Structure 1
Amino acid sequence: MDVRLEGDGIVLRPWSEQDLDQLVTLFDDAEMAYRLPVATPFDLAAAETYLNTARRAEQAGARIYLAVTVGDDVARGEVMLNLAAGTIGYAIGPAYRGQRLASRALRLMTGYAHQVIGLPTVYLEIEPDNTGSVVVARSVGYRPTDDEPVFVEDKGRRYALHRWAHTDPTPPSVT
Structure 2
Amino acid sequence: MSSTSSPFPERIELRGEGLVLRDWTEADLAAMPDLFDDPDVAYWTPIVSPFDEAAARARLVRDRELRAEGTTILLAITTDGAAPLGEVMLRRAPEGTEIGYAVGPAHRGQGLAARAVRVMAAYAFEELGAEQVILELEAENAASVAVATKAGFGLLDVPLIEGEEKGRPFVLQTWGLSRAS
TM over 0.5: yes
Structure 1 runs of 4+ aligned residues shifted over 3 Å read none
**1:133 aligned residue (128, 144, 149):** 144
Q: In the alignment, what sits opposite 1:67? A: 76
The CA deviation at 1:152 is 2.1
- Residue 168 (structure 2) aligned to one of 152, 157, 169: 157
Number of equivalenced pairs = 170
| SS class of match (2:48) | coil
Q: How far is 1:68 from its partner?
A: 0.1
Query: Which residue identity lines up with residue 64 of structure 1 in the other structure?
Result: I
- Tell me whether 99-108 or 83-92 shows the greater mean CA deviation: 83-92
Query: Partners in 2 of 1:54 and 1:72 — Cα distance?
Result: 18
Q: How well do the aligned residues superpose, as a CA RMSD in angstroms?
A: 1.1
What CA distance in whole angstroms lies between the structure 2 residues aligned with 1:141 and 1:7? 16
TM-score, normalised by the number of residues in structure 2: 0.91
Q: What residue ranges of structure 1 are gaps of 5+ in the alignment?
A: 171-175
Letter in 2 for 1:58: R
Identity %: 42
1:34 lines up with 2:43 in the alignment: yes
Report the alpha carbon displacement of residue 39 of structure 1 after superposing the two structures with TM: 1.8
Runs of 5+ unmatched residues, structure 2: 1-8
Secondary structure at 2:159's aligned position in 1? coil
What is the alpha-carbon distance in structure 1 between the residues aligned to residue 126 and residue 81 of structure 2?
28
Q: What is the CA-CA distance between 1:136 and the residue it aligns to?
A: 1.0
Cα distance in 1 for residues equivalent to 2:91 and 2:81 = 27
Q: Which amino acid aligns with 2:91?
A: N
How far did 1:86 drift? 0.7
Is this contact kept in 1: 2:31–2:84, CA < 8 A? yes
SS in 1 for 2:34: helix
Number of the residue aligned with 1:88 = 99
